[in-house]
Structure 1
Amino acid sequence: MLEKIGKYTLHTLSSVYPWTNVYGLARTLLAVSTLLTLLLNDATIFFRPAAGIAEYPNCSYNLSIFCTVPNEYSYLNLIRWLCIGILLLVAIGWRPRITGVFHWWIAHSMQTSALTLDGGEQVSAVLTLLLLPLTLTDSRKWHWENIDAQTQADQVRSGAVLPHIVALLTIVAIRFQASILYLNAAVAKLKQEEWIDGTATYYFLNDSLLGMPPLLIKATEFVLNTSLVVIPTWGTFVAEILLFAALFVPKRYWSYFLFLGFALHGVIAIMIGLYSFSLIMFGLLILYLRPVEQEYRFRSSLKRLRTWSLTRRRRAAPSFDEAH
C-alpha cells in the first residue's frame, strides 16, 4: 500500500514541475512594475511629509532598505537606483534563488516606507513574500529556462522531493490568496450604496485624484451620465465574483478566466492610468490561472509571428508580371 502511494506521489510530482517560465513571467511583470515606478519618480515623490507621517521615510519598520542610509535625498536616490538595478536582474530572470529575497525586500520597503497611491505595492509585497519558498528552491540560472521532462523526473527520483513539494504548495497557497483577494474586493463593494445602486463607476472615474482624463470622460459621457453606468459598475462586481470562483473550476477552463482578469485590469489601466497596479495584477493572474506546467512557448510564438509577417509581405508585394 505504502509503495503504491509512493509511486503515485513520485508520478504526480514528476508530471507537475513548478519551476517554469510561467512563474518566471509573473516575477518579471512584478519586477517591471516596481522598476518603472522607481525609474519614473524621484525620491522626493516617495519620501515627503504626509497626513499622520512626520518623519520620512517611514522607518517604524527596520527592514526597509530605504532606512539603511541617512535621511537625505541624495542617499535615498542612490538606494533608488540600486533598487532599479536589482529589479532589472529580477526582470531578466537571473538567479531566482538570489534575487527572490532582494525582490521581496524592495517590495516590502516600498510598501512600508514610501508614499504610494494605487495599492499595487501592498499586493506586490505580499506576493513576493509568498514566492520566496518557490524562488529559494529554484536552482536554475534563469527563470526562463525550460527543463525537459526526463530531467524533471530524474530530479524527483534522485531525492529532490521536499523542494518540489514546497514549491507546489507555494503555488497552491498563492492561488488561494488570489481567490480570497477577489472575493474580498467583491464583498467590500456590497457595503457601499454606490455599488449597490450601480453609480459607483461614475464617482470613481470622475474623481479628481484617480479619475479619467478629460478626453476620456467626454468620450464616455453617454455611459457615465445615463442609466448605462450600471453596466461597468455591476460588471466589475460580477467579474470579481467570477475570478474568485475560478479557483473551483477545472483547469481546462482557466484560460477564459485569465482573459477576463486581463480585460478587467487592462481597462482599469487605460481608464484611470493605474499601469503599475495592473502589471502586478497581471503577474498575480498568471500565477493564479495559468497552470505552471503549461509553459509559454515564446520562441514558437515568435517564429509563427515571423512566418505570418513574411507571408503577408509576399502577398502584398506585386508579382513580376504585375510590376511590368
Structure 2
Amino acid sequence: MNLRQSFKFPNLDAFFGTSPSALFSPGPSLASSTPIARMAQYVSPTPPIAGLARSSLALGLLLTVLFTPVDQLFFRSQSVPAGTLCGGVAGDLSLFCMSQPHDSPAAKIIAVVILVAVVVGLLPGLTTWLHAWVAWSFQISSPIPDGGDQVGAMVATWLCILYFADTRLTHWSYRSTPPIQPVRSMIRYSGSSLLILQTAVIYGHAFIAKLSVPEWTNATSLWYWIQHPAFRPPQFITEILSFISSSWIGTIGLNYGTLVLEASLMLVFLMPRRAAAIVAVIAVVFHIGIALTFGLWSFFCSMLCVVILGIIVPHTNRLALEAKFANSTKNHDPRITQNGG
C-alpha cells in the first residue's frame, strides 16, 4: 500500500469497521459469550476509529508537553529540587531523566516528535511502544501529574498489545492485510479485553470514591467547584451552571446525574449494544462539558480514547463479525461457516 492510500480517509462504514447506525441496533452485551477465535480469524481488532482514539490519547499529552512551560511541567520545590523525580530502575529509564538539567530541550523535542508521529498515525506497530515510553516517563518523572496523565500511561500500555506486530504504514488504513493472522490477532484482542476492563475500573473508581465525599452525596459538590478560584469556569459558563444549580432539580440532576453516568460506565460492558452506545455518546458529551467548564482538554483527550476503545470499538468488531457471517451464509461460503470457530 502506498503512502497516499494509507492516508486516504475512509468512508464512515470503513472508518468504524461497520455501519455506525448498527451500534444503536439491539445486540448482546460485551460480557456475553464472545467469539474471540472467530473474531481473531476474520476481523481486525483495530479499525480506523481505534486510530482516532490512539491519536486523541497522544494529542492530550502532546498539548501538555508542547504548551506548558518546562518549569511548570517539572516544578522545582524543596522536596524535588531538580524538578524531576528520578531514581530507581524506572526513573533511570525515563526520557525526562536521561537529559539533565530538567529544563534541557532535548527530552521535550524527542517527546514532541514521537507524539506527533502517533497523532498522525505513522507506523502504529512501532510508535505505540514509543508512545508508552513517553507517557510513562512523564507519569514517573513529573512531580505533579494529574488523573489524565495516569489514565494515559495505563491506556498507552494496553495499546502496545492492541497494536502488537501491526505492519500497517498508518493506523488510518482500513484494508487489513489478508489473511488475518489468528495468533497475532488473538494477542491483540487480549489488549481489547484489557481496555474494556480498564474502562470499568476507571469509572468504577471515580464513582465509588465520590460516595465517600459528603459534597457529592448531598449534591453540593458542583457548586463548590464552580466557586473555587483555581477551577472557576469562564463567566458565561458560571452563570449557566449557577442558574441550573439555583433549583433543587438542577442541583440534583447535575450532581447525581454525574454519579449515575459513572456507575453506568462502570457497568457498561454488561449492557446490551444499543444501551452501551447511548451511554458512550452521553459520556463523550459529558467529557466535552468538563473540558469546556474547567479547561481540562488533555483529560478529555484521554477519556475520549477510553470511551472509544473500551465501548465503541469492541461493539463495532462484533458487528463486523456478524456482517461477515451473514454475508458468508447468504453466499454459501464454506470457508467462514465451517472454519469460523
TM-score band by shorter chain is 0.7 to 0.9
Aligned partners of 1:255 and 1:290 also within 8 Å: yes
Aligned partners of 1:87 and 1:103 also within 8 Å: yes
Going from structure 1 to structure 2, the CA distance change for 1:237 and 1:29 (only over 3 Å counts) comes to same
Which residue type is aligned with residue 189 of structure 2? L
Match of 1:95 in 2: 123
Q: Are positions 1:128 and 2:156 aligned together? A: yes
1:166-214, Cα deviation, whole Å (9 max, x unpaired): 1011101110111121111111111011111110111122222223234
C-alpha displacement at 1:53, in angstroms?
2.7
C-alpha displacement at 1:72, in angstroms?
4.7
Q: Give the structure with higher Rg (CA).
A: 1
Q: Are positions 1:18 and 2:45 aligned together? A: yes
1:23-56, Cα deviation, whole Å (9 max, x unpaired): 2111100111111111111211111224743332
Match of 2:74 in 1: 47
Match of 1:267 in 2: 289
Match of 2:238 in 1: 217
Match of 1:320 in 2: none
Tell me the TM-score normalized by structure 2: 0.76
Which residue type is aligned with residue 95 of structure 2? I
* Matched-pair identity in %: 26
Aligned partners of 1:49 and 1:56 also within 8 Å: yes
C-alpha displacement at 1:252, in angstroms?
4.0
The answer for unaligned runs of 5 or more in structure 2 is 1-34, 318-341
CA distance in 1, matches of 2:37, 2:216: 49
Match of 2:97 in 1: 67
SS in structure 2 at match of 1:136: coil
For this pair of structures, how many residues does the alignment match? 279
CA distance in 2, matches of 1:118, 1:223: 28
Match of 1:29 in 2: 56
CA distance in 2, matches of 1:290, 1:202: 32
Q: Are positions 1:245 and 2:267 aligned together? A: yes
Aligned partners of 2:204 and 2:262 also within 8 Å: yes
1:258-299, Cα deviation, whole Å (9 max, x unpaired): 10110111110011110110111001100011135738xxxx
Going from structure 1 to structure 2, the CA distance change for 1:140 and 1:32 (only over 3 Å counts) comes to same
Going from structure 1 to structure 2, the CA distance change for 1:51 and 1:16 (only over 3 Å counts) comes to farther
Which residue type is aligned with residue 230 of structure 2? L
Aligned partners of 2:96 and 2:102 also within 8 Å: no
CA distance in 1, matches of 2:310, 2:46: 15
RMSD: 2.1
C-alpha displacement at 1:225, in angstroms?
4.4
CA distance in 2, matches of 1:218, 1:237: 23
User: Which structure has the higher relative contact order (CA within 8 Å, separation 6+)?
Assistant: 2
Q: Are positions 1:82 and 2:127 aligned together? A: no
Q: Mean Cα displacement is larger for which, 189-198 or 47-56?
A: 47-56
C-alpha displacement at 1:102, in angstroms?
0.9
Match of 1:198 in 2: 219
Runs of 4+ aligned residues of structure 1 deviating over 3 Å after TM superposition are: 8-12, 115-118, 292-295
Which residue type is aligned with residue 240 of structure 1? E
Which residue type is aligned with residue 162 of structure 1? V
CA distance in 2, matches of 1:162, 1:252: 30
Which residue type is aligned with residue 277 of structure 1? F
C-alpha displacement at 1:239, in angstroms?
0.6
1:50-98, Cα deviation, whole Å (9 max, x unpaired): 474333211132221011111152x2x2321221111111111110111
Aligned partners of 1:57 and 1:71 also within 8 Å: no
Which residue type is aligned with residue 266 of structure 1? I
Tell me the TM-score normalized by structure 1: 0.80
SS in structure 2 at match of 1:212: coil
